[in-house]
């Protein structure tokens, strides 16, 4: 059992926290018997730590006797997250994704635990997949509970700063529990900064483990500090995957499970666009829907289980060829060398071109509607632009917390570009008003959005709408600027596939061993299921390429 780094907590003893929606399940005697074959019983003295916020490679602990408090250090004070008693287990999803933990576990009294190293846990759950699913589901739920109570990192900065926005986006895309403290509005901001000796001009800052301060770190620096980033290995791989959205994750799961040494890089976070979707309802096998974040976390755990390695953030900047290998060069100067490369960079949402956007974008304009954005505009009126599924999902989701939702579409038929089930739901949601044949012409407000000007395209009449947040969900552009001149792209910048090489598969580009899948591929269907399907099929074609080229 790795020794936890030192930290002290003096908390009065608390009763066990009730199970919340399956986040704190109790294992059966049989499940504990199975796990005990893979771990060791341990005695932990009263007030001793089992792991500490910031630790990595922690064991998986099951409480056998006594109770363990899981706490978080919030601005100098310990904050209780949960107390676990006999047959409950500790930890969250970071245990399985090789990241640092965002909480500390303290024995309330002398405690007996079962400590199972994570590699051994993987073996144990392969014997009992139901147990594996129980643990994974609880871990994923715990992450969102942690985020809800404000555990994890603190980001302090002005809502008008582009760097504050960048850092908030980065941590929320990576599903890192955090709390955003706005220098302009939160009274406690000044007190925290004073206590830590930070001037307001040094913000945005990220506070980590309650007291470690990172002043306006780059995404890479932050990822390095919190153990998110693993440097890519220098050896040559069978397959390098660029982009960890559904297409790239599917390629990683199928490639690694079929014995290909696989490395995945993503410029921002695993999960891609799908991870920003609050509820995906049209993915096979999930009749009640699944959140994009959960789908992504499950896929990452699955790919890692089969041996795929991840390097995030890592942005591909160029593609070359050295000694017969494809080489992907990353922003930080690192290189990925592989026989085959799968391009799965997806797309990002288009920006608006209207007066007021540059001024108001950092504080009030969003390109996705996740829990995070919903929290920021709770009780406020919001406007959404777009007529596709992402706009429809955002409207239904934001209507739960916003005072009013105005959905602006340029044409007259809500059903034209939106799935029928979603358009029905939008029409039935009382707080959503659809403005058909309209477009947003101007954003109003000095530093923060106060409203938008909407033009009726048939009458030419302008009308002001109150709005404190604007969600722009109006189509996409592919992430292929870095490939221009290296790989054929279509007139909109999507990667062309279907090589002329004999026996090449439909996802291979004209460059041998380089494949493209998912939203970034010219002619693809822009859906989670099709991205996953293409990622999986491309792996078959990678096998064929390796065999034909005599590489395996």
Question: Look-up: residue for tokens 């299921």?
Answer: 529
Strands 404-408 and 432-435: parallel
The correct pick among 519, 533, 538, 539 for binding ligand FAD (CB under 6 A) is 519
* Contacting ligand FAD within 276-295 (CB under 6 A): 276-277, 280-282
Distance between CA atoms of residues 545 and 530, nearest Å: 22
Going by their DSSP bridges, the two strands 365-366 and 469-472 should be labelled as parallel
> Of these, 245, 386, 392, 513, which contacts ligand FAD (CB under 6 A)?
245
Contact call for residue 531 and ligand FAD (CB under 6 A):
yes
Distance (Å, whole) CA 390 – CA 392:
5
Residue 416: Cβ within 10 Å count: 11
Least distance to ligand FAD, CB of residue 346, Å? 2
Binding residue for ligand FAD, selected from 240, 347, 377, 384, defined by CB under 6 A: 347
CB of 242 to ligand FAD, least distance (A): 5
CB proximity list for 259: less than 8 A, separation 6 or greater: none
Site string for ligand FAD, 353-372 (x = CB under 6 A): ---------------x----
Interaction of residue 265 with ligand FAD, rule CB under 6 A: yes
Q: How far is CA 243 from the centre of its chain?
A: 13
User: At closest approach, how far in Å is the CB of 61 from ligand FAD?
Assistant: 32
d(CA 361, CA 311): 30
The pair of structure tokens assigned to 262 is 């696989």
Applying CB under 6 A, the span of 59-67, 123-131, 218-226, 526-534 interacting with ligand FAD comes to 526-534
**Which residue from 243, 255, 386, 513 is in contact with ligand FAD, where contact means CB under 6 A?**
243
Shortest CB 87 distance to ligand FAD, Å: 37
Cβ 281 to ligand FAD shortest distance, Å: 6
- 386, 472 Cβ separation under 8 angstroms: yes
Counting beta carbons within 10 angstroms of the beta carbon of residue 510, is it exposed (0 to 12), middle (13 to 18) or buried (19 or more)? Answer: middle
User: Please, are residues 72 and 102 in contact by the beta-carbon 8 Å criterion?
Assistant: yes
Q: Which stretch binds ligand FAD (CB under 6 A): 24-32, 142-150, 372-380, 523-531?
A: 523-531
**Cα gap 50→352, rounded to integer Å:** 50
Using DSSP, state whether 498 is helix, strand or coil. Answer: coil
The token pair at 70 is 């899981």
- Give the footprint of ligand FAD on residues 378-417 (CB under 6 A): 389-390, 393
Neighbours of 37 (CB within 10 A): 11
Residue closer to ligand FAD by CB (options 152, 535) is 535
- Name the residue nearer to ligand FAD (CB basis): 419 or 450: 419
Output 204 or 535, the one with its CB closest to ligand FAD. Answer: 535
Any residues with CB less than 8 A from the CB of 358 and at least 6 apart, and which?
A: none
Q: Which of 527, 536, 544, 551 binds ligand FAD (CB under 6 A)?
A: 527
In the set 164, 174, 203, 273, which binds ligand FAD (CB under 6 A)? Answer: 273
The residue within the footprint of ligand FAD, chosen from 42, 120, 436, 526 (CB under 6 A), is 526
Give the contact letters, 314-343, x = binds to ligand FAD (CB under 6 A), - = no. -xx---------------------------
Residue closer to ligand FAD (CB basis): 267 or 434: 267
Q: Min. distance of Cβ 170 from ligand FAD in angstroms?
A: 11
- Binding residues for ligand FAD, rule CB under 6 A, total 39
Give the sheet arrangement for strand 68-74, strand by strand: 49-51, 104-107, 68-74, 77-84
Among the listed residues 266, 294, 297, 373, the single contact to ligand FAD using CB under 6 A: 266
Which is nearer to ligand FAD, 214 or 347 (by Cβ)?
347
**Spatial contact of 153 and 147, defined as CB atoms under 8 Å apart:** no
Which has the closest alpha carbon to 517: 500, 504, 530?
530
Helix H or strand E segment including 531: helix 528-548
Contact 535, 272 (CB under 8 A): no
Q: State which residue, 395 or 528, has the beta carbon closest to ligand FAD.
A: 528
Among 518, 538, 542, 545, binds ligand FAD (CB under 6 A): 518
The span from the CA of 88 to the CA of 402, in Å, is: 37
The C-alpha angle with vertex 173 and arms to 352 and 245, in degrees rounded to 5, equals 85
Candidates 89-97, 238-246, 402-410, 452-460: pick the segment binding ligand FAD (CB under 6 A).
Answer: 238-246
* Contact residues: ligand FAD, CB under 6 A: 242-248, 265-268, 272-274, 276-277, 280-282, 315-316, 344-347, 368, 389-390, 393, 479, 482, 518-520, 526-529, 531
């Amino acid at each position: 059992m790795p020794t936890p780094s030192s930290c002290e907590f003096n908390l009065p003893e608390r009763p066990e926290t009730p199970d919340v929606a399956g986040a704190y399940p109790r294992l059966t005697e049989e499940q504990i018997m199975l796990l005990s074959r893979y771990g060791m019983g341990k005695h932990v003295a009263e007030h001793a730590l089992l792991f500490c916020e910031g630790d990595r490679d922690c064991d998986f602990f099951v409480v056998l006797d006594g109770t363990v408090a899981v706490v978080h250090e919030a601005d100098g004070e310990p904050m209780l997250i949960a107390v676990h008693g006999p047959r409950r287990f500790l930890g969250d999803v970071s245990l399985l994704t090789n990241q640092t933990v965002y909480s500390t576990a303290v024995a309330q009294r002398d405690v007996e635990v079962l400590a199972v190293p994570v590699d051994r846990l993987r073996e144990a759950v392969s014997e009992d997949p139901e147990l594996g699913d129980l643990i994974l589901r609880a871990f994923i739920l715990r992450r969102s509970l942690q985020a809800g109570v404000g555990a994890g990192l603190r980001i302090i900065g002005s809502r008008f700063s582009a760097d504050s926005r960048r850092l908030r986006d980065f941590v929320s895309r990576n599903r890192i529990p955090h709390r955003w403290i706005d220098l302009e509005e939160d009274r406690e901001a000044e007190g925290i900064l004073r206590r830590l000796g930070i001037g307001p001009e040094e913000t945005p800052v990220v506070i980590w483990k309650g007291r470690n301060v990172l002043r306006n770190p780059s995404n890479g620096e932050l990822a390095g500090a919190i153990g998110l980033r693993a440097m890519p290995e220098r050896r040559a791989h069978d397959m390098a995957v660029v982009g960890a959205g559904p297409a790239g994750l599917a390629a990683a799961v199928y490639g690694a499970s079929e014995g290909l040494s696989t490395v995945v890089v993503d410029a921002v976070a695993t999960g891609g666009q799908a991870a920003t979707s609050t509820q995906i309802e049209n993915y096979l096998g999930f009749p009640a829907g699944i959140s994009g974040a959960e789908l992504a976390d499950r896929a990452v755990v699955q790919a890692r289980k089969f041996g795929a390695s991840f390097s995030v953030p890592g942005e591909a900047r160029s593609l070359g060829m050295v000694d017969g290998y494809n080489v992907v060069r990353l922003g930080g100067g690192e290189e990925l060398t592989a026989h085959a490369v799968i391009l799965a960079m997806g797309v990002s949402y288009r920006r608006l071109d209207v007066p007021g956007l540059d001024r108001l974008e950092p504080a009030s304009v969003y390109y996705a509607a996740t829990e995070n954005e919903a929290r920021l505009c709770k009780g406020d009126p919001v406007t959404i632009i777009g007529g596709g599924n992402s706009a429809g999902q955002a409207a239904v989701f934001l209507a739960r917390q916003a005072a009013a939702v105005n959905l602006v579409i340029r044409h007259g038929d809500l059903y034209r570009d939106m799935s029928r089930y979603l358009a029905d739901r939008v029409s039935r949601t009382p707080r959503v008003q659809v403005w058909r044949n309209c477009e947003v012409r101007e954003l109003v407000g000095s530093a923060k959005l106060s409203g938008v000007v909407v033009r009726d395209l048939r009458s030419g009449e302008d009308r002001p709408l109150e709005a404190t947040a604007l969600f722009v969900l109006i189509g996409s552009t592919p992430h292929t600027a870095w490939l221009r001149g290296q790989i054929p792209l279509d007139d909109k910048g999507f990667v062309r596939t279907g090589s002329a090489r004999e026996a090449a598969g439909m996802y291979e580009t004209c460059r041998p061993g380089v494949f493209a899948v998912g939203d970034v591929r010219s002619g693809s269907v822009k859906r989670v299921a099709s991205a996953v399907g293409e990622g999986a099929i491309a792996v078959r074609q990678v096998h064929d390429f390796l065999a034909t080229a005599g590489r395996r």
